[in-house]
Amino acid sequence: MGSTVKSLKGQQHELSDSSFQLNVLQAPTQHGEQFPAFARRLQEHDLYPLKPTGTTILQVNMGKMCNQTCKHCHVDAGPDRKEIMTRDTMQLCLDALQQSPDITTVDLTGGAPEMNPDFRWFVEELSKLGRQVMVRCNLTIILANKKYHDLPEFFRKHGVHVVSSLPYFQASRTDAQRGDGVFEKSIKALQMLNEVGYGHEGSELLLDLVYNPSGAFLPSAQASLEAEFKRRLRSGYSVEFHNLFCITNLPVSRFLDYLVQSGNYDSYMEKLVNAFNPVAAAGVMCRNTISVGWDGHLYDCDFNQMLELKVEQGSSHHIRDFDAAALDKRNIVLNQHCYGCTAGAGSSCGGETVK
Amino acid sequence: MNKTYYNPADLSKFGNISELQPEMGRKFFDYYGEVFKEGALTEREKALIALAVSHAVQCPYCIDAYSTDCLEKGADENQMMEAVHVAAAIKGGAALVHGVQMMNKIKELSM
């Protein structure tokens, strides 16, 4: 399962330092070329400063603890990470949501959010508030320990929208990215979710999959890949799901490390920059999402969170001071990694942004 | 001056061929784009055909471009290698089938 692999932080790797990552992102290529500043590209299309369109999604990162150590993880999550959200901070999220009726969806992510001891309490409380709860479940957690085996039933009971990573419909590429044996366990977990009613056509129990390329290449058209995933998973494993979200890997944390180590960094960034699509730029998820860190700090997105780029000064900085109206007036914080969300058909936690 | 005939960086400059003949260049790239759109064949199937042809014509630019394209379009490694074998079989077959011509000539010249 790759559980013996240490996080970058555990290795005291220089890329575990967010300021070092930002230096890499802003440095010229090996041939001395400088990629155009992302902000300047937005300026050329009258999108700068980038403003919110109104927050409808609160994405809560419940901690960096995870049972897996995926090679592309932008969170640098793993079993050796101990930073998790406390129940007090979760309560502050609930308080903020109570005052913000326009936020209709709460997107729980991590790490493996289910490993947080207050995860189930939080989902129950969110459910009482009547918000759509989405959990980014890595699938293998369901089989990792007996205490998690009933997660499919718990999700069903609360109508949780399950969104799960499965980078490929075969073991080779899935395990290369997520660890040995992950594919087999993921299929078993998907079958368990199907058994309680998730993923079937017409079912209200939504089960969506996330596709991240297993390497230094971009995702292709979502509809075509979704059809292939459905065909292969149905014929090979009798697995059903609703939608496939294609997400571009952003050059952050462990994926950035992979790009640098494999010598693919310059060419990957060049691909992202050349694929800049102003239509995708107009639809980026940071315009309707606020990301909450495990310690309650607020960010424009989960990637900014990992780069420790907090929401602009002047907006509310912490969930305890959450002010939706003030946040809607902020300028979104940008950097070179943002090219990942504007390449081609765009990329967000909900997949393509250009329909 | 390059020390080799092929430079990987030239692949991304393919569009520059239009500089010396814009009209023909435009027509070619319009046609190229149209060919690779989803039609009776999926984009993935077309990428696999292109990968096979790339090997048959032994174009390093094309092999670079269509190996990436096949990965992006979700083709798996087995499909990609089978496509290369299709190219190899046709190339090998094309050589071998001329063996019949050789046999005809042998017959013609021999007692």
Residue B62 pLDDT exceeds 70: yes
Residue A2 pLDDT exceeds 50: no
Query: Is the Cβ pair A224, B12 closer than 8 Å?
Result: no
pLDDT of residue A329: 94
For A175-220, the pLDDT digits (tens) are 999 999 999 999 999 999 999 999 999 999 999 999 999 999 999 8
Amino acid letter, residue A24: V
Judging contacts by C-beta atoms under 8 Å, the chain B residues touching residue A212 are none
- The closest CB to that of B43, out of A168, A219, A224, belongs to A224
Q: Which CATH class is domain B36-109?
A: mainly alpha
Query: Is the Cβ pair B42, A170 closer than 8 Å?
Result: no
Cα separation, B109 vs B103, whole angstroms: 10
Q: What's the domain count of chain A?
A: 1
- Domain locations along chain B: 36-109
Judging contacts by C-beta atoms under 8 Å, the chain A residues touching residue B72 are 213, 217-220
Domain span including residue A129: 14-341
pLDDT of residue B22: 97
**Which range (A109-113, A150-154, A297-301, A345-349) has the least confidence?**
A345-349
pTM for this one?
A: 0.91
Residue A323 C-alpha from the chain's centroid: 24
Give me the CATH number covering residue A291: 3.20.20
Mutate which: B36, B37, B72, B81, vs A, most A CBs within 10 A: B72
